Amino acid sequence: MNISALDLLSKLLSSNPNEAKALIKLVNIEVLKSLGDANYTLLLDGKTLNAKSDKVLQEGAKYWANLSQQKAATPQLSSLVKQPVLLKNLAPFATYYSPKDIQTLLVSKEGLNNYKHSLLEQLSNATSKDEFSNISALLLSLHHQVATIALNYSGIFSILQFKKRYNKKTKKVVLDFYAALEILGPISGIVALSESEVIIELSVAFEKTKQFLEENMNGISYDVKISLLDNIEPLFVPKESSLLDISI
pLDDT in tens, 95-132: 777 767 777 777 777 878 888 998 999 899 988 888 88
- Residue 206: Cβ within 10 Å count: 21
Q: How far apart are CA 117 and CA 119, in angstroms?
A: 5
Q: Say which CATH topology domain 25-82 has.
A: OB fold (Dihydrolipoamide Acetyltransferase, E2P) (2.40.50)
Q: What's the pLDDT band for 247 if we cut at 50, 70, 90?
A: very low
With a pLDDT cut of 70, the percent of the chain lying above it is 83
Is-contact 176 220, C-beta < 8 A? no
Q: Which long-range contacts (CB under 8 A, 24 or more apart) does 240-248 make?
A: 240/133, 242/140, 243/133, 243/136, 243/137, 243/140, 245/140, 245/143, 246/136, 246/139, 246/140, 246/143, 247/143, 248/120, 248/139
- Give the distance, in angstroms, between the CA of residue 63 and the centroid of all CA atoms in the same chain: 12
What pLDDT does 72 receive? 66
Q: Across the chain, what does the average pLDDT equal? A: 81
Q: Where are the domains of the chain?
A: 3-21+86-242, 25-82
Please count the other Cβ atoms lying within 10 Å of the Cβ belonging to residue 63. Answer: 21
Q: What is the pTM of this model?
A: 0.84
Query: Mind listing the pLDDT tens digit for each residue in 19-55?
Result: 777 777 888 999 999 999 999 999 988 899 999 998 9
The amino acid at 162: F
> pLDDT at position 41, please?
95
pLDDT in tens, 206-221: 998 898 888 877 666 7
Write the DSSP symbol of residue 73.
S
List, for residues 172-187, the tens digit of each pLDDT value: 778 898 999 888 899 9
Query: Which positions ≥6 away from 84 have C-beta within 8 Å?
Result: 159, 180, 186, 234, 237
